[in-house]
Structure 1
């Protein structure tokens, strides 16, 4: 959230170890979303209704500007209940101390309301309806049906469960970390969580506990019936639209009221083993914050790293109109390859010679796994080799392949981790997404990758798809790492432009 010009990030933290347990709300603040100052944990077990853990939740900025946090506490019976906390001193811009509402918990599973006490967590930011009632959603499930349980309140203290959930979907399992918010239809700006009407669509995002993937739908919110209706054609399961097709989970947005934008935070979990995590002394981190906008088509969201990250750029390298013939590997010189920001656009030739798309390829991750960066095709694979060692014993490939299908073209966007590290204990899964890009009318394809030692966050098609990888190379570290553009397709492509920057270090806690 933002309060008195300061950004506040609260996150799940174990002060006693690298792996999950002893969960508190750690707290850091920033003036720019790049450099962060740590504070003492904001919320930690201290009362009966959270004595066994303070789990995820959300902040709400009340109409008078005061912030409030709802969070899931674990009580002595290990039931999941919802608690309220507010700042102790509103004159402190750092909000270093939080006090808990004396009547906690304010929402709890009981026999009367039929809620599952082990599947009732992660309250959303609250929104205020035209009837002056507050609403929020809590993630849950009934058997295999995922539920967004709706609660209402007149005073933010006394909450009543609605008869019907805001939304549900069968076969999806537990919905963790739900997020429900409006996006403007014809505006480059984000909107406050309590905005309704024809000028916005609504987004419901859920994190699937069963698969550790997230998906979102875009739809309509009927405020009178308190029902969310996904648009026709929405896919409501693991194969639906995702913010990120790689290591990215438990995400949360907030409205930046100063810069009028909606910002997405996501958790990058590990690819290393628990043993390696324990040796490192830490596990998991936050992705670069991203802005979210509705695409012109109205069918998906566009996301992009916040522009503040560009203040870390230095020593720009750029070139243009470079051909990449079959088998080309072109080194990008003078870039600190372990800490870089790369933007490249490719001009594609010979589209009509693209390989045929097989309609049974429903899962892009499976296609990227079978057709990795070293598998030759016609138009592609082409893209970047990042965190690449000398002799290419290690590299992470981020690339495109293009297929023909019924007079159209299908764009496959992949991140290939199969050769990312010599450490065989790492998860080296490949990731993939299909991009809704019109190559017939615009034959350029863009890629941006943010590289940070063991993390590669990549954005394809100007933010129409993103893939985050967690790679931990053993050779491609320090001066042993390089950055390349490559093409393993038989058809040549052209680098229309490439801009790369070495990135300075941010001040992080």
Structure 2
């Protein structure tokens, strides 16, 4: 595809989007708007895109519809930071302006080229009929470059891809020695979910290398948002399968994310060593993307949102969706992908409440916080000395009894989030199998509209939205049908990430 690029048109479209988003911002209600999670000023966001470190700043882009709180023609929103803690809102980076991306600048990634520019690769999306998905879509991989990390010039299509593929999107680019690699999700002509790989030496001309992976589940017709990176000498392939039948605790959402681990070397096939495992089993975790920080850490985000059941703020508050907290990923000796909030996030901790060690009597409740909407909690339970059947945290408890229940079920061997009494939005229960030993160590991050739970140093996690009722939001620790012995409980108020 050869297309003349009108650079002035991009400037015009970005200015229009900024004006529309500023107008929409006037109607934003902040009752559930995040304090320490990345979200747009107003409007819809989904997948994290273009995660990178460039010219001394960390850059986080994201899928963004600036004109409304529902999904629409995709733009790239943008924030940046010097320290991964305090963030600056940047202008919207990309908007549909080409024939190739007329119906959306879809997901992609960003890397620094040998010429010092930031290269952003994304999927250009067009409805075949110009209206909707009924007759399919045309998807190509496009490139935009920047000399300052903020303002971009589109370079056009760099990978056409086979026209017969129903889906072909979400390029993730990385380099091994002198060769650049691009992986993206695809639907084969046999309707199977696959990850394709292309290679390049100049970042403009790309050549098909191989089909890197095909999901063994014949129900899975597409693998969205793939990422491929090395940890501890193994290669991790993360992806989002569409859409297998729910089974047990897996695939309970309309959109889920997981991974496999294997061996790979340039020029060779990927040799899978593990079965698919879900990355996070909460209600709202999708499309994770990672990047390598300057000190070698593997950092990234997932998206907290929903394509199927509308979020409460989407319906009434003029915004929808946020990213998870920034996460650091690691690989355990038994090849499980673990992730925990980055250490830097502790800089946002404010006043501390340290309750030390204590025992909670049978069927008892203890108020930990009378009122707080944003906090970070670390809790260690001595299960060997406890007889409680479940450890429970009533999150966002209001005077009318509404709350979200976070806890550990010793009988079922599960870590869970129960939103049956949450007050607003989707209800539902999510759990992940987890058999704790003598000690249960939990990290729980609560923001105005979300809760993220980490156990076993991040091997198990649950990320969910939870929209509290009006009034003071308490935090209460509960024991059920037994005593609860606590080794330590600390909670910190959390400050804002916006500088």
Same fold, judged at TM 0.5 (above): yes
8 Å CA contact 1:385–1:485 kept in 2: the answer is yes
Shift of 1:37: 1.6
**Correspondence 1:313 to 2:313:** no
Q: Residue 414 of structure 1 corresponds to which residue in structure 2?
A: 416
Counterpart of 2:133?
A: none
Match of 1:105 among 157, 161, 173: 157
Deviation at 1:11, TM superposition (A): 0.7
Structure 1 residue 428 and structure 2 residue 470: aligned?
A: no
CA contact 1:167–1:228 (8 Å) conserved in 2? no
**TM superposition shift of 1:61:** 2.6
Task: Give yes or no for contact 1:217–1:230 (8 Å, CA) kept in 2.
Answer: yes
Does the 8 A contact of 1:349 with 1:491 survive in 2?
Answer: no
CA change 1:63–1:411 in 2 (3 A) is farther
Whether contact under 8 Å (1:59, 1:69) holds in the other structure is yes
Are 1:135 and 2:191 matched, yes or no? Answer: no
What is the deviation of 1:261?
1.0
Unmatched 5+ stretches in structure 2 = 1-51, 129-136, 244-253
| Alignment correspondent of 1:96 | 150
Alignment partner, residue 7 of structure 2: none
Secondary structure of 1:419's match?
Answer: coil
What is the deviation of 1:293?
1.0
Would you say the 8 A contact 2:195–2:223 is kept in 1?
A: yes
TM-aligned CA deviation for residue 276 of structure 1: 5.2
1:497 is the counterpart of 2:492: no
More contact order relative to length (CA 8 Å, sep ≥ 6)? 2
Cα distance in 1 between the residues matched to 2:357 and 2:415: 22
Provide the C-alpha distance between the structure 1 equivalents of 2:343 and 2:301, rounded to a whole number of angstroms: 15
Counterpart check, 1:37 vs 2:84:
no
CA drift at 1:304:
1.1
Distance apart, 1:39 and its partner CA: 2.0
Tell whether the 8 Å contact from 2:80 to 2:89 is kept in structure 1 after alignment: yes
The corresponding residue for 1:246 is 283
Q: Which residue of 1 aligns with 2:363?
A: 327
How many residue pairs match? The answer is 427
1:333–1:176 distance in 2 versus 1, CA, 3 Å: closer
Equivalent residue of 1:105, what SS?
strand
Match of 1:80 among 124, 135, 139: 139
Q: 1:277 aligns with which of 314, 326, 331?
A: 314
Question: For residues 321 and 162 of structure 1, do their structure 2 counterparts lie closer, same or farther at Cα, with a shift above 3 Å needed?
Answer: same
Whether contact under 8 Å (1:241, 1:300) holds in the other structure is no
Asked if structure 1 preserves the Cα contact closer than 8 Å seen for 2:59 and 2:79, the reply is yes
Alignment gaps of 5+ in structure 1: 185-199, 352-377, 404-409
> How many angstroms apart in 2 are the aligned matches of 1:289 and 1:85?
25
1:53 is aligned to 2:101: no
Query: 1:160 pairs with 207, 210, 221, which one?
Result: 207
1:15 to 58, 62, 66: 66
Name the CA shift for 1:455/1:61 in 2 (closer, same or farther; >3 Å).
same
Find the counterpart in structure 1 of residue 404 from structure 2. Answer: 396
1:4 Cα deviation after fit: 1.9
- Deviation per CA, 1:2-25: give whole Å up to 9, x if none: 112211111111111111112111
SS at match of 2:172: coil
1:235 match? 275
Alignment partners' CA distance in 2, 1:164 and 1:468:
32
1:215 aligns with 2:258: yes
Does the 8 A contact of 2:279 with 2:337 survive in 1?
no
Q: How big is the shift at 1:65?
A: 4.7
Quick one: structure 1 residues 413 and 63, their matched pair in 2 at CA, closer, same or farther if it must change by over 3 Å? farther
Aligned to 1:203: 236
Contact 1:150–1:166 (Cα < 8 Å) also in 2: no
Secondary structure in structure 1 of the residue aligned to 2:356: strand
Structure 1 residues 76 and 459 mapped into 2: Cα distance closer, same or farther (>3 Å)?
closer
Does residue 380 of the first structure (1) align with residue 431 of the second (2)?
no
| TM-score of the pair, normalised by structure 1 | 0.79
Q: Structure 1 residues 65, 402: closer, same or farther in 2, change over 3 A?
A: farther
Aligned counterpart in structure 2 of residue 288 of structure 1, from 321, 325, 328: 325
**Counterpart mapping for 1:117-128 below 5 A:** 119-128=167-176
1:151 matches 2:198: yes
